[in-house]
Amino acid sequence: MPQVFSSRFTLVLRVASIFTLGVLIAAIIVYRVNARGDAPQDDPIDQPIPFSHKHHVRDDGIDCRYCHTSVETSSFAGIPPLATCMTCHSILFNDAPMLAPLREAFAGGKPLEWNRVHDLPDFVYFNHGIHIAKGVGCTTCHGQIDQMPLTRRVASLYMQWCLDCHRNPERALRPRDQVFSVDWQPPPDQLVRGAALRREYGLRSTRELTDCSTCHR
């Protein structure tokens, strides 16, 4: 049977197929490396109630754990139940129009549908509890939340952003009693202190912290 395609055409077809496959694989890798939540960085997210961390944290001095009750023990920080909000707002600003959705949801036994600000892709595993236990403070990832009238995301949430910290965790580690402090600032000898805290907290090796299975399970 005569050859349908010339050897030259067959070679070009093979090269084109390999090139197309390579481009597809590269696109997948770029997507996975740069994947992050849909929330735009540095832009406040619309919420059913314009909740102000600045007012609650900075002005009123409410500790993070009062609302985010599971942040020390769970993979999720936790959204406070409406009963927590109503602990104060059944008395304070209890007729404010801004808080009408809160009162109506609480009276009707329905949850408020908050929009996530830090929303990682489903293929990324993140645990709040382990980061807290290892001395990573709230402001390290969430920024100066106490200065935000409306909550916004300050970190890119790119894979590279996570890896930068996992490769050099000494830069972020702080004493455990300062993890929830919004005023903590790294001292001039942070790398020295961070290295000591890394040993004290028993952090895994850099190789283990940057292994794919650490965040992709």
* Residue with the two structure tokens 């002005």: 59
Read off the pLDDT of residues 20-62 as tens digits, 9 standing for 90 and up. 777 777 666 555 555 444 555 778 889 999 999 999 999 999 9
Cβ atoms of 151 and 39 closer than 8 Å: no
Phi-psi region of 165 (alpha: psi -120 to 50; beta: other; left: phi over 0): alpha
Please give the Cα distance from 66 to 64 (Å, whole number): 6
Instruction: State the DSSP string of 103-119.
Output: HHHHHHT----PPPSS-
CA angle 142, 154, 192 (to 5 degrees): 60
Return per-residue pLDDT of the chain as tens, 217 residues. 455 556 666 676 777 778 777 777 766 655 555 544 455 577 888 999 999 999 999 999 999 999 999 999 999 998 999 999 999 999 999 999 999 999 999 999 999 999 999 989 999 999 999 999 999 999 999 999 999 999 999 999 999 999 999 999 999 999 999 999 999 999 999 999 999 999 999 999 999 999 999 999 8
Please give the Cα distance from 216 to 162 (Å, whole number): 12
* Residue 37 confidence (pLDDT): 46
Token pair belonging to 204: 């895994």
Please give the Cα distance from 14 to 53 (Å, whole number): 58
* 99 closest CA partner among 87, 109, 111, 85: 85
Query: Residue 157 class from Cβ within 10 Å (0-12 exposed, 13-18 middle, 19+ buried)?
Result: buried
* Residue 60 confidence (pLDDT): 95
